[in-house]
Amino acid sequence: MYTQALNSSDGDDRGIEDAARAAAFQARIDDDERIEPNDWMPAAYRKTLTRQISQHAHSEIVGMLPEGNWITRAPSLRRKAALLAKVQDECGHGLYLYAAAETLGTSREELVDLMLSGKAKYSSIFNYPTLTWADIGTIGWLVDGAAIMNQIPLCRCSYGPYARAMIRVCKEESFHQRQGFEIMVTLCRGTEEQKAMAQDALNRWWWPVLMMFGPPDKVSQHSDTSTKWKIKRFSNDELRQKFVDATVPQAQFLGLTIPDPGMTQNESGNWVYSEIDWAEFNQVLAGNGPCNRERLAARRKAHDDGAWVREAAAAYAEKRKARLLAQAAE
Amino acid sequence: MPTPNTPLWEVFIRSRNGLAHKHVGSLHASDATLALQAARDIYTRRGEGLSIWVVPSNAITASDPSEKGMMFEPAESKIYRHPTFYDVPDEVGHM
Amino acid sequence: MTAANIKVSETPLVLYALRRADDALILGHRLSEWCGHAPAMEEDMALANMGLDLLGQARELYAYAAKVEGRDNDEDKFAYLRDVRQYRNLLLLEQPNGDFARTMVRQFFYAAFADLYWRAMMKSSDPTLAAIAAKSEKESAYHIRHSSEWIVRLGDGTEESHRRAQLAIDDLWAYTGEMFAVDDSERGLIDAGIAIDPGTLKAQWQKTMTSVVNEATLALPKSDWMQQGGRSGRHSEHLGHLLSELQSLQRTFPGATW
């Protein structure tokens, strides 16, 4: 779901590419043609996409953890089924995205190893803890809401397998945000305690969610190449503004207060938010968020604990192949 | 130690009887049986399918995009293969 | 203040539905604990699918129990406001996940039974139970397929996987007898054609066990000592912890709607 903050590219090693092929490639992009796995592409395009798609995939997989934290405590069977289905979807989305990244020539295992070793990034939003049930509502409402803003343009991304994966993801995710908002509506119509729980969750998640869109345009590097290659179609600030404008009326409907006393509406109707604390964003990105270590540790544990299972399946497949060969030889 | 690779499979699904199987995505599995089960668990969760094929990705032989000219352009000039190439008087009606 | 336990009038049919509902909920809950932690993404998807099947079964059975009981209980009151002594699930299903082998063996033991059970229950003279059976049978048929394939791979995979799978079989075997037990409250339902006698399924179940376990190069334990108690609320220590997690919000905020 969540890639905007991670956009970056390697526009610099383009000098080594054959200029004519690069020009033809750019012409195809400009013509809105899709690039497919076996097509020639600049090394930097391949590298940028591999990184962006795999970071997107890592985000889906790590993103299972904060919400997964509440599956066993969901307060009704209906909520439990919906949450399990939602977190399962995120696993599926990670899987589709790794598959899209693999078409660029790096195996899923290698990409996952990069994440587990801490070398690859994932969306910083998942380094925040889910403390109450209202966090599950808030994640669906805001985190998935932000993700949708981000992902819809990616359905038209120039790289075919990524665009196709995103179409599938967007289709499946259409229930995620509604699921979260419904939880919020229920809490806000509930007891005083429940309403306070909802407000508290909004207070904690609001600013990290705005950070999901990535650094402000004035300092965002590399966007130019990604835009030129039609990997990215809107700037970080454009998407962030769109999200804020869509969300403020929803918060008003819920009777919740956005934790930004300085927020005003300008004459064109846009909600102008206060300065974002980018120092916090940079700290979380650098590994110092409240849950960075736990998230990685949980993923590593699942990976390590599963090693003997994967080995068993591989060993069995080898044995079966050998048996079939032996049978055929008889 | 790097994680060993588990084979990659391509998944094709027939969504309704009467339609052809269509490529929907990929997955990793150590053998064909597990690949088929995984395809069911991953790609048919919303009632998308009635039939599944899984094919080892390395069993697919693909045409080379750089040979697009040789492979596909010669067909483009054979416009007489299409019904619209031929004139049939309007009075004859649909043919 | 915490929310109090509900009272349930456990007439034979209410109790019958609750027992099967609790089976499905508790096993579904256990499977849901895997979400995000499975050995591979493909298995994460599979375990969640099975968990969702079971949650769905539980909800239908609770709804039916509530209807038959005719008080103001509902699926959530049954799930969230009964304590350990009121739960009626099989001991097997509350056993902790352990490693993947243990989860698969538990699934295999139960699904092999559930598949036969639901297929037989499609002929129940109770139309609601027959309808639930028709839906559940298709789900459990897949669960037995999925878990059998894994039993074979784990048993006939590596030395380590073989050892883990055998240990799980040895540890969980004593919980399988309870699936075939019948008490007085069920006897009347069986006589009325509402329920089936699970004892009649045992030979077929045993056959599945033997054939899959043999193929997996594993062995079934010789011991025929079987633990009992889940059906009357005498559980293992594990269930209390599961429920304290499952019920935490409902217990902390009495009467709230979620």
pLDDT at residue A17 in the model: 56
Chain C contacts in chain A segment 85-114 (CB below 8 A): 85, 87-88, 91-92, 94-95, 98
A83: pLDDT strictly greater than 70 = yes
Which residues in A84-114 are b (16+ Cβ under 10 Å) and which e? Answer: bbbbbbbbbbbbbbbbbbbbbebbbbbbbbb
C-alpha distance from C99 to closest chain B C-alpha (Å): 19
pLDDT at residue A1 in the model: 40
pLDDT at residue A6 in the model: 47
Contact C253 A94 (CB under 8 A): no
The pLDDT of B30-55, averaged and rounded, is 96
C241: pLDDT strictly greater than 70 = yes
**With contacts defined as CB-CB under 8 Å, which chain A residues touch B4?**
109, 310-311, 314
Contact A95 B46 (CB under 8 A): no
Query: Which chain C residue's Cα is nearest to A81?
Result: C52
A262: pLDDT strictly greater than 50 = yes
B12, B21 contact by CB (below 8 A): yes
Contact C75 A77 (CB under 8 A): yes
C110: pLDDT strictly greater than 70 = yes
The pLDDT of A237-250, averaged and rounded, is 97
- The DSSP call for residue A234 is S
What number of other Cβ atoms are within 10 A of residue B75's Cβ? 9
How do A264-265 and A271-272 pair as beta strands? antiparallel
pLDDT at residue A16 in the model: 55
Q: Which residues contact residue C46 at a Cβ distance below 8 angstroms, ignoring those fewer than 6 apart?
A: B37, B38, B41, C146
- The DSSP call for residue A219 is T
The pLDDT tens digits of the residues spanning C15-35 come to 999 999 999 999 999 999 999
Locate all alpha helices (DSSP H) within chain A, ordered by sequence: 19-30, 43-62, 64-68, 77-102, 108-116, 133-138, 144-154, 160-188, 192-211, 223-228, 236-254, 278-283, 292-305, 307-329
Instruction: Label residue A8 by pLDDT band (50, 70, 90).
Output: very low
The answer, for C75 touching chain A at a CB cutoff of 8 Å, is yes
Contact A305 C99 (CB under 8 A): yes
The pLDDT tens digits of the residues spanning B46-74 come to 988 999 999 999 999 999 888 888 999 99
A41: pLDDT strictly greater than 90 = yes
Contact C52 A68 (CB under 8 A): no
What number of other Cβ atoms are within 10 A of residue A44's Cβ? 20
Instruction: Label residue A2 by pLDDT band (50, 70, 90).
Output: very low
Size of interface A-C (CB pairs under 8 A): 139
Query: C43: closest CA among A330, A225, B30, A200?
Result: B30
Contact B33 C149 (CB under 8 A): yes
Instruction: Label residue C233 by pLDDT band (50, 70, 90).
Output: very high
The region of weakest confidence among A172-176, A222-226, C72-76 is A222-226
The pLDDT tens digits of the residues spanning A187-215 come to 999 999 999 999 999 999 999 999 999 99
C76: pLDDT strictly greater than 90 = yes
The pLDDT tens digits of the residues spanning C48-70 come to 999 999 999 999 999 999 999 99
Share of chain A above pLDDT 90, in %: 88
**With contacts defined as CB-CB under 8 Å, which chain C residues touch B29?**
42
